Structure 1
Amino acid sequence: MNEPERQEHSQFSLLKSKRFAPFFWTQFFGAFNDNVFKNALMALITFGILSSGMELNQMNNLGAMLFILPFFLFSALAGQLADKYEKAKLIRYVKLFEIFIMVVGGLCFWFQQTWGLMLLLFLMGTQSAFFGPVKYSIIPQHLKPDELVGGNALVETGTFLAILLGTISAGVISDLENATRILPFVVVILSVIGYLVCLKIPLAPAPSPDIRVRFNPFTETWKTVQFSRQNKPVFLAIMAISWFWFLGAAYLTQIYGFAKIDLQGDQSVVMSLLAIFSIGIAVGSLLCERLSGHKVELGLVPLGSIGLSLAGLDLYFQTPPAQAAELIGLATFLSQSNSYRVLLDFMLIGIFGGLYIVPLYAMVQQRSEEASRSRIIASINIMNALFMVVSAITGILVLGVMDLSIPQFFLILAIMNAVVACYIYSVIPEFFMRFLIWVITHTMYRVTHTNLDKIPESGPVLLVCNHVSYMDALIIGGACRRPVRFVMFKPIYDLPVLNFIFRTGKTIPIHSRKSDPETYESAFKRISEELRDDEVVCIFPEGKLTQTGGIDEFKNGVEKILQQDPVPIVPMALKGLWGSFFSHKDSKALTRLPRRFWSKVELVAGDPIAPENTDARQLQSAVEQLRGNVP
């Protein structure tokens, strides 16, 4: 499949694939059923149909604690089991356990056994804790690398839509006169459907069948978190994911009070806010596939975090003062001037949340070792649960002890998110570097690429390309799925702003042997080290930007590289950059005002060339053929 065909290949086609569709619907019906059960239970307790003898707030907090506690107790064990055993079979056992829970839960609804239902929240949390590591670690086993973002986007979309539909369904059913007689049939039927669908999930072989499973909730939980810290970028991605759940839990928890107290809205207003937030998550998740070009694009993470803070700030400033003497319905709410701004803010929080979370999950899956991936995912569940508990405590402190309003709490969340984002991007500048590349290549240029699948998915590769502008490396780096180490003329490497991107991307500066012999020798040493570490290295054999728009003579440095490390070479050609602000057409680059934006640029890759008997002239000819007559 060449690159244009792959770009047209929609992520929704995965819903027709046997590799993904059964898993997607298993996850969807599980999340849907969980939310029908939990929300119906809380609604029936709220309206006094089920009695408990405790205050409503105490029951809500107890229910939340019972559901979250198993993630601390069992996630480490779940991660070990998911690495040790075949995953499709594990999912079937988990779904059978769900049927058992729902049958017992149905009986408790029927006979109105409130405390039995509360205990089942603990068992539901246990089932979710065991499903989590399998859920995210099975995706990269069944999907190709260029499907990871689309697959994760669909899972996040399905999850939040299931939460929304489950919440709405629970509200509708709990309003019925015979709700406790209807709910048993609903939850059991949904669990059975989920089990029948999971039978179609393809086999996912155990990556580490020889590991020894240990069950000690406290020591193994600590060991699992410590284990995930061995890979610093992955661990910080996990922390960033958990921060999202901190934010998400804070917003979702306060939506009910915000709608009632600050918007003076009834249950219909609450549902509209929940719906718009969930739809926003779905839209943002699905946008990731289009904006990332079918690869794990970390540049979307800063975009998401910036949007989360801006939307949160706007929500604080646009909240209308409460004026109504009684609660208003959705129609009255929508007739108010600021209502659409509030809805837009919740939509944007959802959209930017989707842009933020999907690349992070895909990054963890991509960069964690297959043999230990499930245990890494288990640490995500542990940290998510911890951050959600901290989120609840933060809400209690801010709204209770400090006696601030909910809009003020939203303002604090927006500021905290900005601080956390700055910290993460300072520790791992790769996120911000990828963001700058993404912004530049999506504002100044419309980049299309052809046959980039010619670049091998693993092993050392040398890319050779014509050199037209200062943006060449950014465009190539933004288009390629694998990280690329660029060999770059030192004066270009030292340019302000771009130098940050080049340094963060581990670019290799080079100069002529005559002008700077130390840099020259150091560059070839670094090139050899990167190739021997199975990395992708890209060089511009012309040695400088073209002055004419044509391709200058390739220098023999490429031959020196291949003599020392005979690796496959992939020729590439850039088209459409001649005449841009960053090229030397008519005058020196960067010395005139930009004349065009969103210009069409094409990157073309050719068939890999064996290193034996390959010289600079042959590679120049290959690049010229790929470029054709378009400078």
Structure 2
Amino acid sequence: MLLTKRFLPYFATQCLGALNDNIYKNVLLLLVTFSQVNNLPISVDMFVNLAAGVFILPFFLFSAHAGVVADNMDKAKLIRRLKLLEVIIMFSAALAIVSENYMMMLLLLFLTGSQSAYFGPVKYSLLPQALKEDELVTGNAWVEMGTFLSILIGTLGAGILVSDNNATLWSALTVAALALAGYLSSRAIPALPPQGAVQKIPFRPLSGTWRSIQKARQTPSIWMAILAISWFWFLGATYLTQFPNFAKLHLHSGATVVSLLLGMFSIGIAVGSFVCERFSFGHVELGLLPFGVLGLTVFGVDLLWAIPPAPADASFVYGLQTFIAQSQHYRVMLDFFMIGVSGGLFIVPLYAFIQTRSAKGECAQAIAANNIMNSLFMVASALLSMLLLGVAGWSIPQLFLLLAVMNFVVALYVYSQVPEFTQRFISYLLSHVLYRVTVTGRDKIPKEGAGIIVSNHVSYVDALIIMGASTRPIRFVMDKSISEIPVLKYLFRHAGVIPICSPRQSEATYNQAFESIHEALANGELVCIFPEGRLTPDGELGEFRPGIDKILARDPVPVVPMALNGLWGSYFSHKDGHALTTMPKRFWSKVSVNLTDVVDGQDANRYALRDAVAHLLHKY
């Protein structure tokens, strides 16, 4: 995938853009801070803070408009236009650097932020259009790796450029050359036309910003994913901002150690992104999120106790070599690296989730809302740091401890609001810790629209296993007695399970189940039915009851036959006694979820569907 034309030119373009943004921004700040500039109309401190605000302001103003633009024109053409604009901005910036016109450089920083604000939505919304579904997590992993390594290289590179005797000349040539390289790479991106109906694009910065946020909030799962990503940027911005003072005050180290810690953090995010890709097994896997959350909290707390004692000589300052030579610093380095790894595990599935769950033709607008919230959270992180460190007199380790605790609280809130995240986690544990689940034919599940999955019924955890096999949410039709099992009933309730029983037990429950199925299919949802009507008592496939025929007579939607193999004999099946009553005997056993071609609902009936499931059971 990496070397394909549909990904490599885009990847190179976005990496070069992120690299150039960070080199230019840091060159400006370093030149102003360390060159003893005397012709500024404002103080250096004011200039530095103003520069930070000037770069982030366009994300508030223009992200909403950028999202609409990206959804309504060819994404490749839009990227080329934005990269051409970057060439113009950076050539102007090169002249401003050489002439040491710092106020002009500040204005151009605003234009750079504006260009980045328009590039942000198309950067992520391009991926689900250019990549296959099983490549989406990998693509996001590469993007996150490229972004954070570009931030690292840009930050370090700016320091190297400014330290040279011909700092202004080399800085000017670098930003101009990177902009030109980015434009040239963008010309190789293949056409990506808009997926929805093209709309008029009014330019309303502030009102558009609020409207974009309101639209994202209409889908609770996407909104919670946006808040979770924004929280990560809150954490990341706080860590990155406090690195210099933390190294100086608490590690008694110089600038080279700051670069080391920044490197550990950024490389950790890159590693975490690919760990996520490796353990997502080819699809969007929200089950990995809790591992990222736990890591951010555990290693954030451990950082407080990892700080080594101060050197005996209070004036001693560690350089890079002396810092690495002391084993007492390894724990601090490991903590920052693992915080980065945890961040990669946390952020990659969330971006992929937004891309797959956004309505077709509206992905860029969801990403735009995400960028707006990211900016708000980063501003909030700066305000909180100033309040606690400046006004309240807290230390930086205390601030880091607060972040770790807040991270756990935020996670609890997000998981309480979107139970699907919890369900995916439990499904992941079942599929990859308790069992070894493989899925064959995942692509047979309809990507959108109403559909029915019919499966054999082997154990009490069938629904959780199937849930993990699908990237789409599924409404399960389940025997009422199973849906009310202690502990599991809370998961089933939040998953929108439709309880059913025989009309002899409760005619009202029976009739309501069919009404709920009809409503779900009318809403374009995916419904899973176990037509046997009960767990198998002997491991064999039972007869399919007429309920499936009744459903298809009213709603003849596409049907996907599915077979579960390997769950018979588990603790959750009825082998050797009633399920959940015997001691668990099998761990890490192989389980397979197998799907075959979609059957037209007009032609489907219970006998043909049973034959299809039986064939899958025999085949696998």
With normalisation by structure 2, the TM-score equals 0.94
Matched, 1:31 2:21: no
User: What code does the residue aligned with 1:278 have?
Assistant: S
Could you tell me whether the CA contact under 8 Å between 2:73 and 2:198 is conserved in 1?
no
Q: Alpha carbons of 1:369 and 1:542: their partners in 2 closer, same or farther (altered >3 Å)?
A: closer
1:60 maps to 2:60: no
Residue 489 (structure 2) aligned to one of 494, 499, 506: 499
Q: 1:93 to 1:50 in 2, by over 3 A?
A: farther
Describe the shift of the 1:478–1:108 C-alpha distance in structure 2 as closer, same or farther (beyond 3 A).
same
2:34 is aligned to 47
Q: What is the CA–CA distance in structure 2 between the aligned matches of 1:529 and 1:77, rounded to whole Å?
A: 35
* SS in structure 1 of the partner of residue 394 of structure 2: coil
Q: Which moved more, 1:367-376 or 1:503-512?
A: 367-376
Structure 1 counterpart of 2:377:
387
- Give the Cα–Cα distance (whole angstroms) in 2 for the partners of residues 556 and 148 of structure 1: 39
Indicate the residue corresponding to 1:594 in structure 2: 584
1:582 to 1:25, Cα distance in 2 relative to 1, 3 A: same
Q: CA deviation at 1:265?
A: 1.6
CA shift for structure 1 position 229: 2.6
**Alignment partners' CA distance in 2, 1:612 and 1:185:** 66
Q: Take 2:425 and 2:611, find their aligned partners in 1: how far apart are those partners?
A: 34
Counterpart of 1:339 in structure 2 is: 329
Alpha-carbon contact 1:106-1:184 (below 8 Å) kept = yes
**Which amino acid counterpart does residue 218 of structure 2 have in structure 1?**
Q
Q: Following superposition of structure 1 onto structure 2, how do residues 185-224 of structure 1 map, counting pairs within 5 Å?
A: 185-207=173-195, 211-224=199-212
The whole-number CA distance in structure 2 between the counterparts of 1:169 and 1:49 is: 21
The aligned counterpart of 1:148 is 136
Q: Find the partner of 2:476 among 470, 474, 486.
A: 486
**Deviation by residue 1:144-194 (Cα, 9 ceiling, x = unmatched):** 333322222221111111111112222222222222221111111111000
User: Pairwise mapping of residues 245-324 of structure 1 onto structure 2 (< 5 A)?
Assistant: 245-323=233-311
Distance verdict in 2 for CA 1:336–1:474, change over 3 Å: same
Partner of 1:579: 569
Give me the whole-angstrom Cα distance separating, in 2, the residues matched to 1:287 and 1:499: 32
- How far apart, CA to CA, are the structure 2 residues paired with 1:626 and 1:369? 33
Q: Is the 8 A contact 2:423 2:464 kept in 1?
A: no
| Alignment counterpart, residue 355 of structure 2, candidates 361, 365, 372 | 365
Q: 1:376 aligns with which of 358, 363, 366?
A: 366
Matched residue type, 1:457: K
Q: What is the Cα deviation at residue 397 of structure 1?
A: 0.7
Distance in 2 between residues matched to 1:321 and 1:67, nearest whole Å: 38
Q: Residue deviations 1:95-117, cap 9 Å, x none?
A: 11211222122222223333332
- What's the counterpart of residue 92 of structure 1? 80
* CA shift in 2, pair 1:526/1:178, >3 Å: same
SS at match of 2:126: helix
Question: Which residue of 582, 606, 610 corresponds with 2:600?
Answer: 610
Answer whether contact 1:466 1:542 (CA < 8 A) is retained.
yes
CA distance in 1, matches of 2:487, 2:226: 28
Deviations 1:450-469 (A, max 9, x none): 12222232333222222221
Which shows bigger deviation, 544-553 or 20-29? 544-553
Classify 1:530/1:606 alpha carbon distance in 2 versus 1 (closer, same or farther; 3 Å): same
Residue 4 of structure 1 is matched in structure 2 by none
Counterpart for residue 7 of structure 1: none
Q: 1:210 to 1:458 in 2, by over 3 A?
A: closer
Distance 2:280 2:478 in 1: 25
The answer to whether residue 539 in structure 2 is matched with residue 549 in structure 1 is yes
Residue 122 (str. 1) matches residue 110 (str. 2): yes
C-alpha contact (below 8 Å) 2:426/2:464 kept by paired residues: no
After superposition, the CA RMSD in angstroms is 2.1
Q: Quick one: distance in 2 between partners of 1:114 and 1:261?
A: 31
Contact 2:531 2:545 (C-alpha < 8 Å) held by counterparts: yes
Shift of 1:219: 2.7
The question of 1:435 aligning with 2:430 is answered no
Contact 1:141 1:204 in 2 (8 A): yes
Please tell me whether residue 74 in structure 1 is matched to residue 56 in structure 2.
no
Q: Distance in 1 between matches of 2:248 and 2:480?
A: 61
Compared with structure 1, are the counterparts of its residues 428 and 562 closer, same or farther at alpha carbon in structure 2 (3 Å cutoff)?
same
CA drift of 1:210 comes to 5.1
Measured after TM superposition, the shift of residue 87 of structure 1 is 2.4
Distance 1:481 1:314, change over 3 A: same
1:421 matched to 2:436? The reply is: no
Q: Say if 2:456 and 2:531, in contact at 8 Å, map to a contact too.
A: yes
Task: Please tell me whether the aligned partners of residues 83 and 209 of structure 1 are also in contact (alpha carbons under 8 angstroms).
Answer: no
Q: Does the 8 A contact of 1:50 with 1:114 survive in 2?
A: no
Task: Please say if residues 52 and 115 of structure 1, whose CA atoms lie closer than 8 Å, have aligned partners that are also in contact.
Answer: no
* Between 535-544 and 180-189, the greater mean CA deviation after superposition: 535-544
Q: Within 2, Cα distance between the matches of 1:471 and 1:581?
A: 10
Contact 2:571/2:582 (<8 A) preserved: yes
Letter matched to residue 568 of structure 2: W
d(CA) in 1 for partners of 2:375, 2:349? 20
Q: What secondary structure does 1:610 align onto?
A: coil
The one-letter code sitting in structure 2 at the alignment partner of 1:71 is F
Q: Secondary structure at the match of 1:299?
A: helix
Q: Answer with 552-561 or 253-262: which moved more.
A: 552-561
- Matches of 1:593 and 1:52 in 2, distance apart? 79
Partner-residue secondary structure (3-state), 2:193: coil
- Give the AA of the match of 2:185: V
What is the match of residue 621 of structure 1?
611
Quick check: 1:85–1:209 contact (8 Å CA) kept in 2? no
Quick one: distance in 1 between partners of 2:527 and 2:87?
53
My pick for the range that moved more, 277-286 or 54-63, is 54-63
- Structure 2: give runs of 5+ residues left out of the alignment: none
Q: TM-score, normalised by structure 1?
A: 0.93
Contact 1:462 1:537 in 2 (8 A): yes
> Is it true that 1:242 corresponds to 2:230 in the alignment?
yes
Q: In 2, Cα distance between the equivalents of 1:52 and 1:252?
A: 30
Aligned equivalents of 1:236, 1:613: Cα separation in 2: 40
Deviates more, 1:493-502 or 1:470-479: 493-502
Q: How many correspondences in the alignment? A: 617
3-state secondary structure, aligned to 2:286: coil
Q: Out of 153, 172, 177, which is 1:184 matched to?
A: 172
Q: Percent identity?
A: 52
Report Cα offsets for 1:211-262 as digits up to 9, x if no partner. Answer: 3433343333233323333333322322222121111100110111111111
2:392 equivalent in structure 1: 402
The alpha-carbon distance between structure 1 residues 227 and 534, as it changes in their structure 2 partners (threshold 3 A), is closer
The residue aligned with 2:499 is: 509
CA shift, 1:209, in A, is 6.8
- 1:232 — aligned with what? 220
| TM-aligned CA deviation for residue 598 of structure 1 | 1.6
Distance 1:335 1:592, change over 3 A: farther
Larger displacement relative to structure 2 (406-415 or 205-214)? 205-214
Residue identity opposite 2:192 in structure 1: A
| Residue 563 (str. 1) matches residue 556 (str. 2) | no
Does the CA contact (< 8 Å) of 2:64 and 2:369 recur in 1?
yes
1-structure distance, mates of 2:420, 2:251: 41
* Alignment deviations for residues 106-129 of structure 1 (CA, whole Å, 9 cap, x no partner): 222223333332232212111111
Paired residue type of 1:442:
H
CA contact (8 A) 2:568 2:575 kept: yes
C-alpha deviation, 1:486, in angstroms? 1.4
Q: CA deviation at 1:208?
A: 6.2
